[in-house]
Amino acid sequence: MTGSNIVWHHATVNRQRREQLNGHASVMLWFTGLSASGKSTLAHAVEEALFQKGCRTYVLDGDNIRHGLNSNLDFSPEGRVENLRRIGEVGKLMVDAGIITLAAFISPYQKERERVRSLFPHGDFIEIYCNAAFSVCEQRDPKGMYKKAREGLIKDFTGVSAPYETPVNPDLEIDTGAIPLAQCVDSVMGLLRHRGLIG
């Protein structure tokens, strides 16, 4: 809820000036996919490639965010919706700050991904679908989550006891279960160059 006495303050240092100082555009890169599909791995690898080019970057990682900002949220449908709402708002601020922001979240619902996209001007939100096969994700299972979900120890686990709605029209789809990481990074960097966001 917002009060009638709250007014947005317009600063003299704006996004355009920050981007000029940085020497590159800012954008939200949204990595979505099943648990263990490689979202965080790819996001951090892309960040490293961007950092090596002198870009200002930051990764908003699902697990890391739940240690602090969203530590009071559960994994129910309602909790997931609020989780993404907060991340969308944080990401919006970071893009305004001139930062290439990379968000790695399962974000299983199409409606909520579209809601986050709607926070950004056209072209400022790039949805990257990490489309690793379910069998590959379950086989990887680095945190043992699929096993626990199968045993009924974790409720509302995406892909097992909760749905994952496949992106309808992602900006980029990568088979992160079969394609080597370096090639996945090249695909993302190529898209950023194609759109004129980096040199």
Examine residue 99 and state whether it is found in any structural domain, yes or no.
yes
Examine residue 1 and state whether it is found in any structural domain, yes or no.
no
Report yes or no: 46 and 126 within 8 Å, Cβ to Cβ: no
What is the average per-residue pLDDT within 16-44? 96
For residue 148, pLDDT over 70 is answered with yes
CATH number of 30's domain:
3.40.50.300
pTM > 0.95: no
Tell me what pLDDT residue 1 has: 56
Examine residue 5 and state whether it is found in any structural domain, yes or no.
no
Is there a catalytic annotation at residue 107? Answer: yes
Of the residues 40, 107, 118, 135, only one is catalytic, namely: 107
Examine residue 136 and state whether it is found in any structural domain, yes or no.
yes
Examine residue 10 and state whether it is found in any structural domain, yes or no.
no
What's the pLDDT tens digit per position in 33-62? 999 999 999 999 999 999 999 999 999 987
Number of domains making up the chain: 1
Tell me what pLDDT residue 189 has: 98
Task: Tell me the DSSP string of 138-191.
Answer: HHH-TTSHHHHHHTTSSSS-BTTTB-----SS-SEEE-TTTS-HHHHHHHHHHH
